[in-house]
Amino acid sequence: MRTTAVFLITLISIVLLFWQGAPQTTPGTFRAEQMKYSRVKAAYTEKWNGIDLRLKELDVQVTALEVFIRSFKHEKVTEVWVKNKTDKTWKKYRDYKVCMSSGELGPKRCQGDGQVPEGFYHMNIFNPYSNFHLSLGVSYPNASDRVLACKRDPGRAIMIHGDCVTIGCIPLTDDKIKEVYVLSVEARNAGQQKIPIHIFPTRMSEERLREIKATTEDASVKLFWDNLKTGYDYFETKTALPVVTVDAKGKYIFR
122, 133, 169, 198: which is the annotated catalytic residue?
169
Q: Is 161 one of the annotated active-site residues of the chain?
A: yes
Angle at 238 between CA 117 and CA 95, to 5 degrees: 50
Q: Which residues contact residue 139 at a Cβ distance below 8 angstroms, ignoring those fewer than 6 apart?
A: 121, 122, 123, 124, 197
User: Annotated catalytic, 169?
Assistant: yes
Which among 99, 161, 164, 198 is annotated as catalytic?
161
Q: Catalytic residue positions?
A: 161, 169
